[in-house]
Chain A
């Protein structure tokens, strides 16, 4: 009973992180800042939710769910990659930075490339 509670609390923590990342997706001023909020904390939140579900099924049913382990591994690998691809596509298609941004490392890197 108490061991199941660990899984449930982990799920609640992950859900709160997903909510915070959605809040950042609404409030932040720029594609890059929004992508930062969405990718990073949504990955952590969903990892917490899936890990909590894994612990819940482990302690409630006594089964080790390989499907959940696979899903954790897959999300952990692919979600940052997707965020990186989206940010690079935004930069190279010419989306401007927010006026408060102070540093642009990719500009000099692209100029050096050409």
Chain B
């Protein structure tokens, strides 16, 4: 841990994560919580990149891709659920989709 710049970046990202957890618990509406979850995913992704540099390995870089994809899909599904009350159209359902 003799890399002070990277350690400082990791600490700042951890504080950002705590702030997002506060908004996730306290947010008055559901959209607040979804925005906080999205930001949590983004921050965890950045933390994994910094941890890769600290440990000087490239083995964890796939995790960045997976977390990015899961965050996007989760936010999209939750936004659809908040907007219309459903996540997926039923089979053969032909509603006007935007």
Which residues from chain A sit less than 8 Å from chain B, CB to CB? Answer: 7-9, 11-12, 14-16, 18-19, 21-23, 25-26, 31, 34-35, 38-39, 42-43, 45-46, 49-50, 53, 56-57, 60-61, 63, 65, 67-68, 70-71, 74-75, 78-79, 81-83, 85-90, 92-93, 95
Contact = CB atoms under 8 A, between A and B. Distances in A.
The interface residues of chain B, by DSSP majority, are classed as helix
Contacts, number: 168
Interface residues of B, number: 49
Given A26-B23, A78-B68, A31 B58 contact: no
B50 A74 contact: no
B6 A11 contact: yes
B68 A93 contact: no
Contacts of B17: 22
5 contacts: A15-B46, A15-B50, A34-B23, A70-B65, A71-B65
